[in-house]
Structure 1
Amino acid sequence: MKKIHLLIIKAFIRPFIATFFVVMFILLMFFLFKYVDDLIGKGFEWYTILELMYYQSMVQISMALPLSVLLSSIMTFGTLGENYELVAIKSAGISLQKAMRPLMILIFALSVSSFFFSNYMLPKANLKFYSLMYDVRNKKLAFLIKPGVFNNSIPNFSIRVDRKDLNGTLYGITLYDHRGSNGIPKIIKAQEGEMNKTSDGNYMVLKLKNGVQYEEQANNNGIYNPRQVLIRSRFKETEPKFDLSSFKMNKTDPNAFGNSTVMLNLKGIDRKRDSLSKVIDTLNRNTTANLSNNFRQNNTAKGYTKVKISPKKIGDQILTSIPSGARKQALETANGIVSSIAQNLSNGAPRYKDLMGELIFTSVEYQRKFTLAASCVLLFFIGAPLGAIIRKGGMGLPVVIAISFFLIYHILTTVAEKSAREGSLNPIFAMWIAFIVLTPLAAFLTYKATVDSALFDVNYYKQFFMKLLRIKQKED
């Protein structure tokens, strides 16, 4: 390998790693902002949130990797052009394609790695992420006391406070204890209190001060007694304990989500697609059989007699062909048949729609395994020529141009995928439409960079318009 190739690879690796981690950090921040309501105020351990972010970072690689390739390729060749290193390379007899060759090999290797990642690692990451996210969303709310609102988070207890200060001291506390066997709660009212956890974290202690407790004595024989005993006791301090075992998050078995399409590799998607096709075929056959039964001929003599009778012709007015005494019964029978058909169709249509939607989604996810790898190659052949043309490095103009092209790619893919899932586009065409649109652009930019075109040179366009103005002035 020539030294010039090592120079280009080193110039590409540094911005690629930097942009990859920056993009990953931004995407993780978007994730936290999106799910902040599910994570804040539930008392999760720090390692649970880190585990969730780790799995999410694996999921976000499908978006971070192509954008990083585009950014780093523009920055690399933009910096080489800005420092006149591309001019030196071309003056040494090395064309742009030869200079890009080591990076092409690197990008192809990266694309193959991304394919294996999306086929083997990404389904497992999705499985872990969605199972953990399911537990997070279904975990009970942490004991977050809001003034003026009854809190029923702890089983068998209801707590209400009038106000609380910044130090966590509660004032005007009303506590309902529903653990009694007679169905009548024990009521505790206190002027103030503090809330703390025990050292092992299994119990919460509510330290109450200056209060009164009301408790109605249970009746053993179950008969109403108008002279029921009510016990009232005052206290200066008391410390009721609450069991917090219900607040601990029990992890769901990830295998419960294993049949979801995003958690399958190519073989699993193929098997699921075949299963869905068989279910749809069975549903269609059953629907056809049920509907055809409503259009059978009620003729018991058909096939069992040699008497030949010419078929009776029925005109537009069907009721006139039916004897007057049987018309009412015929109408009732027809109405029942139509209602039965409508009922069968209304029952089967939602099921058929769900199955077709899932079948389309399997095709979309199948193609997505390949589009991640192909997007790296496509965006490299857009970014590298762009950097050579604009001849500007750093984080300014290259970043703006890279994000613009990536947004075009992402919007095309997202809109086409949505149309495919709605049944408006073929799933294969929808997942590759961005490549069909942007591949000619990549070829055009590569050609322009090869011939040293001043495609984004403002001075070139100024001189061009000045020449046009001079020509018009001479003609006048």
Structure 2
Amino acid sequence: MFVLLMLFLWKYIDDLIGKGFEWYVIAELMLYASATNVAMALPLSVLLSSIMTYGSLGENYELVAIKSAGISLTRAVAPMLLVVITLSIAAFFFSDNMLPRAYLKYYSLLYDARQQKSANFLPEGVFSNSFPDYTIRVDKKDKDGQTLHGITLYAKAIANNPSYVMKAKSGRMYRSNDNRYLIIELEDGVRYSETPSTGSNFNPNPRQIFTRFRFKSAQNKLDLKGLAFTRTDEKEFSGAFPMMDRRQLKDYMAHTDKSIDSAGRANLPLVAAYIKYFSLPLKSDNFKTYQKYQLGVMAYGDNVAKSNYITIALGEARSIHDLLKVRGDRMNELVKNFRSAFAQYQVKFTLSVSCIALFLIGAPMGAIIRKGGLGLPVVISVIFFLIFYIVKTIGEKAAHEGSMSGLFGAWISIIVITPVGLFLSYKAATDSALFDMEIYRRFFENIANKFKKSKA
């Protein structure tokens, strides 16, 4: 979990740093990220811990003592298998109830965090346009980030309020208690403004009045709307399949299935209006077969009429094509959504089953390699988990895209690794030296010797 959490931080560090988030916002985001990482961390931890446990037992010759007491490896593994099954049942309920809520909280908060603009509203030596009605320049900022030096503030004209420029030697900025405004307090400065004079009917273009006054202190309140951290309604994200539990997915699939059926039944009446029907001649008494009948209208009329026939036919063909294209795209979208929902429904079960399948690999692998600790077990567990994760990702993506059935795509990783686990369990139960390189060397030497004898 720690490694996956560090991966999350490195991935989104640029979206979180320098935006003025409170510490509890970062902590909440990391909590939800940890909950979503359970689907990856739990199977890997089961695999690694089982290899380390039984590898340590083999390294300390405790498995030899167990077998010498007449206890088989299968019986020695059975208690831990019961523990893993209990853990898998808990993982199933977590995947169905807690994981969708964690995904909803995580992605909604992460979306708002990534949309948040930088908290560095007033960088040094730059004319900042972060606020719509103001342009502000700060020559220098102290380390606290609030004390300012050499401030120039230009306020644009709004309605009847004229524009003005304020220059101050120093100042301070801070947020209001409700986090809605940025308050800038200026000290020892000058304000410049120009306002139109009260002209007369004889002077339609009066002169501007220039005003300058000095101040010891002044305060400007800048609206942080669009700049302060705001939360989006979580209901906008609830339509994604990872945010649904099994009941919601079943309801969605039932509703989508009805929509597909109703769309299919509505296609024929819409197209039927463009189809022209002709009456076929009745069977003649003088012939044993139907008379040859020409349905085409091209046999009648002059060239102008035939051209009109072709133009009308092409127009109707285009109308049918456009109509069916729109409805076909809608039908494809419904079918794709149904497949994705079905694949996500199957994924609810794969987390718990993958824990059992990876335990069947880890326990016998630890008994075979007879190495504990964080050395070789980590290498082997990472290799097997990478194979499992790559196959799982490819299968689920293919299931969502429709190139593979949802059932097979969701379960293909389990189908691939389960025979490997059963094979390793058989080898461990029969005390097979699976990783003894001397055995493989002798095997290939025997094959080479037989090949040389056959040539001789």
TM-score of the two chains, using structure 1 as the length reference: 0.81
Cα distance, 1:65 vs structure 2 = 0.4
2:338 is aligned to 359
Cα distance, 1:326 vs structure 2 = 1.8
2:191 is aligned to 213
Contact 2:197 2:207 in 1 (8 A): no
Distance 1:62 1:322 in 2: 73
Q: Of the candidates 309, 313, 337, which is equivalent to residue 294 of structure 2?
A: 313
Pair 1:198–1:423, CA change in 2 (3 A): closer
Question: RMSD of aligned C-alpha atoms?
Answer: 3.4
2:64 is aligned to 87
Distance 2:453 2:309 in 1: 93
Contact 1:416 1:425 in 2 (8 A): yes
Distance 2:135 2:57 in 1: 68
2:283 is aligned to none
Cα distance, 1:449 vs structure 2 = 0.4
Pair 1:149–1:283, CA change in 2 (3 A): farther
Contact 2:197 2:206 in 1 (8 A): no
Q: Secondary structure at the match of 1:229?
A: strand
Cα distance, 1:116 vs structure 2 = 0.9
Aligned positions, number: 442
Distance 2:58 2:227 in 1: 59
Cα distance, 1:422 vs structure 2 = 1.9
Pair 1:278–1:220, CA change in 2 (3 A): farther
Pair 1:199–1:265, CA change in 2 (3 A): closer
Q: Secondary structure at the match of 1:215?
A: strand
2:287 is aligned to none
Percent identical among aligned pairs is 46
Q: Of the candidates 397, 400, 405, which is equivalent to residue 426 of structure 1?
A: 405
1:16 is aligned to none
Cα deviations by residue, 1:128-165 (Å, 9 ceiling, x for unpaired): 22332333234444243335654343353332446667
Pair 1:239–1:122, CA change in 2 (3 A): same
Cα distance, 1:455 vs structure 2 = 0.8
Cα distance, 1:259 vs structure 2 = 3.3
Q: Which runs of 5+ in 2 are unaligned?
A: 281-289
Distance 1:183 1:338 in 2: 63
Amino acid across the alignment from 2:423? F
1:369 is aligned to 2:348: yes
Contact 2:196 2:207 in 1 (8 A): no
Q: Secondary structure at the match of 1:295?
A: coil
1:294 is aligned to 2:271: no
1:144 is aligned to 121
Distance 2:304 2:451 in 1: 95
1:384 is aligned to 363
Q: Secondary structure at the match of 1:176?
A: strand
Cα distance, 1:450 vs structure 2 = 0.7
2:98 is aligned to 121
Q: Secondary structure at the match of 2:373?
A: coil
Q: Of the candidates 78, 88, 94, which is equivalent to residue 111 of structure 1?
A: 88
Q: Of the candidates 179, 186, 190, which is equivalent to residue 164 of structure 2?
A: 186
Contact 1:142 1:153 in 2 (8 A): no
1:339 is aligned to 2:310: no
Distance 2:124 2:426 in 1: 68
Pair 1:473–1:259, CA change in 2 (3 A): closer
TM-score of the two chains, using structure 2 as the length reference: 0.85
Pair 1:179–1:310, CA change in 2 (3 A): farther
1:6 is aligned to none
Cα distance, 1:314 vs structure 2 = 5.0
Pair 1:439–1:346, CA change in 2 (3 A): same
Amino acid across the alignment from 1:453? S
Q: Which runs of 5+ in 1 are unaligned?
A: 1-23, 304-308
Cα distance, 1:251 vs structure 2 = 3.3
Contact 2:198 2:206 in 1 (8 A): no
Cα distance, 1:289 vs structure 2 = 3.1
2:18 is aligned to 41
Amino acid across the alignment from 1:85? E
Q: Of the candidates 272, 275, 289, which is equivalent to residue 255 of structure 2?
A: 275
Cα deviations by residue, 1:222-253 (Å, 9 ceiling, x for unpaired): x9744232334455764433344664434344
Pair 1:268–1:338, CA change in 2 (3 A): same
1:324 is aligned to 2:303: yes
Distance 2:405 2:382 in 1: 28
1:442 is aligned to 2:421: yes
Amino acid across the alignment from 1:352? M
Q: Of the candidates 390, 398, 413, which is equivalent to residue 411 of structure 1?
A: 390
Distance 2:331 2:63 in 1: 59
Cα distance, 1:271 vs structure 2 = 0.5
Q: Secondary structure at the match of 2:273?
A: helix
Cα distance, 1:456 vs structure 2 = 1.2
Pair 1:311–1:173, CA change in 2 (3 A): farther
1:204 is aligned to 2:182: yes
1:3 is aligned to none
Cα deviations by residue, 1:354-400 (Å, 9 ceiling, x for unpaired): 32222111011101011001000000000100000000001011000
Distance 1:471 1:340 in 2: 75
Distance 1:78 1:350 in 2: 55
